[in-house]
Amino acid sequence: MSVRTRVAPSPTGDPHVGTAYIALFSLCMARKLGGQFVLRIEDTDRARSSERSERAIMDSLRWLGIDWDEGPDKGGPHGPYRQSERRELYVEHAGRLVTEGHAFRCFCSAERLSQLRAQQLEAKGKVGYDGHCLALAPAEAEARAAAGEPHVIRMRVPEAGQCAIDDQLRGKVEIAWDQVDMQVLLKADGMPTYHLAVVVDDHLMGITDVFRGEEWITSTPKHLLLYQYFGWEPPRYFHLPLLRNPDKSKLSKRKNPTSITFYERMGFMPEALLNYLGMMGWSMPDGEEKFSLDQMIEHFEPARVSLGGPVFDMEKLSWLNGRWIREELDPEGFARRMQTWALNASYLMPIIPLIQQRVERFSDVVGLTGHFLTGLPSLSEASFAHKKHSPEDIKKTLQFVVWRLDAHDDWRAEPLKQTLTGLAEGMGIGVRDMLFPVFVSISGQPVSTPMYETLEILGPDLSRARLRHGLAALGGVSKKQAKRLEKQYRELQT
RNA sequence: GCUUCCGUCGUCUAGCGGCAAAGACGCCGGGCUUUCAAUCCGGAGAUGGGAGUUCGAUUCUCCCCGGAAGCACCA
């Protein structure tokens, strides 16, 4: 049977570099062995999934040059490729497990469950479902379900013994069954959880090789067990190391730009970003660091994957990008790339209304719009000098803005305005004063284009990166300071 | 807390029982250049610790330590 791989992002935010990372390795595996690569959208979390995000993910992957053989946009023989459209499949399969005795209906309330969890945490024991509804007679459970009582379906799990996972990169990994929870498979809203959906879809879509982050390794027993219950052959698993922040924690937007669109906006070439992701945990046999997707495919071997979690280093990415720009672009190509990057109508149009009123000559434009075309403005402590406020106050304000915006998802002007004016109100200061360090951090100057619209155009990651950069220019916030400020911040929340 | 994974210069990697542990980013010094880059030359910098297997361990085994991840009706 030919090799089939897939990437299965969930459309719950900005397109993540981790998604591209997994996609890259999956794609290389499939292409190397002449198989297919599938894109599947895991949108079973109705509250968090959005169409906008799904589009952004597909656009970003394509921008990077990652193309799929089957997917929601191009169809294929195993569709639909969007989990929300496969609902009946999951219901049907979950039902089958119930009738065969591999799963059971659970009527426990959310309150009981969270209480249980709290108790278990306090007792410092194992945390997990206690099997309360296991005692229910099947007939009674069916009757209650038929009567419309809300419930979930959970899988049964062996009480003793070990589950052996044959990880293709790590070898045999053993996990005791008593460490595995009686996972919910079908939620009360009738949607599957990841664990059910991933198994059903991977099997039905003929996926033979699964690349995913190592965060999944401890839940693999659940998946293997489901394959066994269904009588299916499981795929080969390759658990890749996690991309890391400089402090070694899992790459996160709080600490690092994670959105592919950020790197696009910063002016990285897609080839260079993809190249860089390829050298995270993988290397060419000859040690060459600059390589194209085709070259990576040609030489790809899972055995060359290294397992230490690689720290995402933007400086090295920048160096690599420089090489791509210098070595692969002739002057015409360079000009074209500049155009597709930002010097085009679709990027410029939303900016025009923000500057037209403020311009007397076209030559004024550069000074007014520089911050739409730059990465991080050059800042010093002096940039934040203010006639009324002390540097300490400025720093505090900026930190509060950063925290508030970290928790803010809808990056359109109006919601941003609401959030920030709300913050100013809570802090008891004027919006103008609150925005001062924001203007400086974002544009490098105390005055520039209207802030909320500017933030929207810049996007969340670049905005956050600049605000953090501003904070750093102010001398940074020490642990001690952060603790004190955090307390004040929490007090104004209420 | 429990479980699992991981552990080579600050960072990304090479090594796959046997050459003074190699390359790259970054850093430092120098050459070239009107300047800045690019480029060239040079330098500092690592096998987490301890046992064991072996003639010989970065490499194999065990223990410790450290880091990370998972423990949801999120994926």
The pLDDT tens digits of the residues spanning A257-275 come to: 999 999 999 999 999 999 9
Nearest to A469 by CA among A443, A432, A494, A431: A443
* Average pLDDT, integer, range A80-93: 96
* Dihedral angle, C-alpha A170, A31, A25, A293, nearest 10 °: 140
pLDDT at A1: 66
* Average pLDDT, integer, range A189-216: 96
Q: Is the pLDDT of residue A322 over 90?
A: yes
Tell me the nt nearest to A311, Cα to C1'.
Answer: B11
Residue among A222, A253, A395, A396 flagged as catalytic: A253
Q: How confident is the model at residue A126 (pLDDT cuts 50, 70, 90)?
A: confident
Burial track A52-79 (b if 16+ CB lie within 10 A, e otherwise) = ebbebbbebbebbebebbbbbeeebebb
Tell me the nt nearest to A187, Cα to C1'.
Answer: B73
Q: Which CA-bearing residue is nearest the C1' of B24?
A: A289
Burial track A235-270 (b if 16+ CB lie within 10 A, e otherwise) = bbbbbbbbbbbeeeeebebeebbbbbbbbbbbbbbb
Tell me which nucleotides of strand B come within 7 A of a protein CB.
1-8, 10-16, 23-26, 38-39, 67-75
pLDDT at A74: 93
Q: Is the pLDDT of residue A327 over 80?
A: yes
A253 is catalytic: yes
C-alpha pair distances (Å), A138 with each of A98, A105, A135, A156, A188: 9, 8, 9, 14, 18
φ and ψ at residue A236, rounded to 5 degrees: -80, 140
CA torsion through residues A45, A48, A50, A54, sign: negative
Task: Tell me if A66 sits within 8 A of A23, measured CB to CB.
Answer: yes
Q: Which CA-bearing residue is nearest the C1' of B74?
A: A45
**Phi and psi based region of residue A156 (left: phi greater than 0; alpha: psi -120 to 50; beta: remaining):** beta
Tell me the nt nearest to A247, Cα to C1'.
Answer: B67
Give yes or no for a cis peptide into A80 (omega within 30° of 0): yes
Question: Can you read off the two tokens belonging to residue A175?
Answer: 């996990």
Q: Which CA-bearing residue is nearest the C1' of B73?
A: A187
Distance, in Å, from the CA atom of A452 to the CA atom of A458, rounded to the nearest integer, reads: 10
Q: Is the pLDDT of residue A130 over 90?
A: no
Distance, in Å, from the CA atom of A209 to the CA atom of A240, rounded to the nearest integer, reads: 13
* Average pLDDT, integer, range A22-40: 97
Nearest to A186 by CA among A156, A153, A157: A153
Other beta carbons within 10 angstroms of residue A178's beta carbon come to 13
Q: Is the pLDDT of residue A493 over 70?
A: no
Q: Which CA-bearing residue is nearest the C1' of B22?
A: A287
Burial track A3-26 (b if 16+ CB lie within 10 A, e otherwise) = bbbbbbbbbbbbbbbbbbbbbbbb
Query: What is A45-67 written as a DSSP string?
Result: -TTT--HHHHHHHHHHHHHHT--
Protein CA A287 to sugar C1' B19 (Å)? 20
In the block, which residue shows the tokens 């809570």? A426
Tell me which of A112-121, A176-185, A237-246, A469-478 is least confident: A112-121
Q: Which CA-bearing residue is nearest the C1' of B6?
A: A308
Distance, in Å, from the CA atom of A260 to the CA atom of A279, rounded to the nearest integer, reads: 17
Question: Can you read off the two tokens belonging to residue A176?
Answer: 């005791």
- Which amino acid, A288? E
Q: How confident is the model at residue A123 (pLDDT cuts 50, 70, 90)?
A: confident
A363: Cβ–Cβ under 8 A, 6 or more apart, which residues? none
Protein CA A255 to sugar C1' B28 (Å)? 29
Largest CA-CA distance found in chain A, in angstroms, rounded: 81
List, in sequence order, every beta strand (DSSP E) within A224-383: 236-240
Burial track A275-306 (b if 16+ CB lie within 10 A, e otherwise) = bbbbbbbbbbeeeeebbebeebbebbebeebe
Q: Is the pLDDT of residue A18 over 70?
A: yes
The mean of the pLDDT values for chain A is 93
Q: Which residue has the higher pLDDT, A125 or A208?
A: A208
A470-479: per-residue pLDDT in tens?
998 888 887 7
Nearest to A31 by CA among A284, A233, A299, A283: A299
Q: Is the pLDDT of residue A364 over 60?
A: yes
Protein CA A341 to sugar C1' B56 (Å)? 57
Query: What is A181-238 written as a DSSP string?
Result: ---EEE-TTSPBPHHHHHHHHHHHTT--EEEEEGGGGGGHHHHHHHHHHHT-PPPEEE
Protein CA A445 to sugar C1' B37 (Å)? 26
Q: On the CB side of A108, how many CA atoms lie within 13 Å of its CA?
A: 22
Protein CA A445 to sugar C1' B53 (Å)? 66
Distance, in Å, from the CA atom of A187 to the CA atom of A182, rounded to the nearest integer, reads: 13
Query: What is A387-399 written as a DSSP string?
Result: SSS-HHHHHHHHH
Protein CA A452 to sugar C1' B25 (Å)? 37
Question: Can you read off the two tokens belonging to residue A58?
Answer: 């597909």
Tell me the nt nearest to A313, Cα to C1'.
Answer: B11
pLDDT at A137: 87
Tell me the nt nearest to A43, Cα to C1'.
Answer: B75
